A and B are shown apart, each in its own frame.
Chain A
Amino acid sequence: MSTQQQEPEPQEPESQESPEDPEMKGAESPQNQRLKEKEQGLAQEETVDESDLEGETVHIKVFRYDPEVEGKQEPRFDDFYVPFEKGMTVLDAVMYARDEYDSSLTFRHSCRQAVCGSDAFFVNGKQQLGCKTQISDLEQPIRIEPLPHQEVVKDLVVDMDHFYDQMHAVEPYFQQEDLPDGDLEEQRQSRENREKVKMSTRCIWCAACMSSCNIAAGDNDYLGPAAINKAYRFAMDEREDEEIKEHRLRIVEQEHGVWRCQTQFSCTEVCPKDIPLTEHIQELKREAVKKNLKFW
Chain B
Amino acid sequence: MSQSYNRGLIEDFGRWKEFSAGMWAWIFHKFTGWMLIGYLFTHIAVLSTAIGAAAGDPTLIQQETDVYTTTIQGLESLFIVRVLEVGLLAVAVFHILNGLRLLMVDLGIGLSAQDKSFYASLVLTGVITVASVPTFMHGVGF
Size of the chain A interface, CB-CB below 8 angstroms? 30
Pairwise interchain contact A264-B23, C-beta atoms closer than 8 A: yes
Pairwise interchain contact B4-A151, C-beta atoms closer than 8 A: yes
Pairwise interchain contact A283-B1, C-beta atoms closer than 8 A: no
Q: Which of these, B5, B6, B26, contacts A264 with CB under 8 Å?
A: B26
Size of the chain B interface, CB-CB below 8 angstroms? 25
| Segment touching A, from B43-51, B80-88, B107-115, B127-135 | B107-115
A283: B residues at CB distance < 8 A: 108
Q: List 5 A-B contacts (CB under 8 A).
A: A148-B7, A149-B11, A151-B5, A266-B20, A283-B108
Q: A263-B105, A276-B112 are in contact. Are A67 and B3 (CB under 8 A)?
A: yes
Pairwise interchain contact A263-B7, C-beta atoms closer than 8 A: no
Pairwise interchain contact B108-A265, C-beta atoms closer than 8 A: no
Pairwise interchain contact A263-B22, C-beta atoms closer than 8 A: yes
**CB proximity of A151 to chain B, nearest CB, Å:** 4
Docked pose: A287 CA to B99 CA in angstroms: 22
Q: Which of these, B18, B105, B107, contacts A126 with CB under 8 Å?
A: B18
Pairwise interchain contact A279-B111, C-beta atoms closer than 8 A: yes
Pairwise interchain contact B4-A265, C-beta atoms closer than 8 A: no
Q: Shortest 5 CB-CB distances between A and B: which pairs?
A: A265-B22, A151-B4, A125-B18, A67-B3, A264-B26
Pairwise interchain contact B6-A151, C-beta atoms closer than 8 A: yes
Whether a CB of chain A sits under 8 angstroms from the CB of B102 is yes
Q: From DSSP, what is the main secondary structure of chain B's interface residues?
A: helix
Docked pose: A265 CA to B21 CA in angstroms: 8
Q: Which residue on chain B has the smallest CB distance to residue A276? A: B111
**CB proximity of B31 to chain A, nearest CB, Å:** 14
* Residues of chain A whose beta carbon lies under 8 Å from any beta carbon of chain B: 65, 67-68, 73, 75, 125-126, 145, 148-149, 151-153, 159, 161, 214, 262-266, 268-269, 276, 278-279, 282-283, 285-286
**CB proximity of A125 to chain B, nearest CB, Å:** 4
Pairwise interchain contact A269-B20, C-beta atoms closer than 8 A: yes
Whether a CB of chain A sits under 8 angstroms from the CB of B106 is yes
Whether a CB of chain A sits under 8 angstroms from the CB of B10 is yes
**CB proximity of B20 to chain A, nearest CB, Å:** 5
A161: B residues at CB distance < 8 A: 1
Whether a CB of chain A sits under 8 angstroms from the CB of B15 is yes
Q: Which of these, A153, A268, A282, A285, contacts B1 with CB under 8 Å?
A: A153
Docked pose: A214 CA to B51 CA in angstroms: 45
B1: A residues at CB distance < 8 A: 151, 153, 159, 161
Docked pose: A276 CA to B22 CA in angstroms: 13
A151: B residues at CB distance < 8 A: 1, 4-6
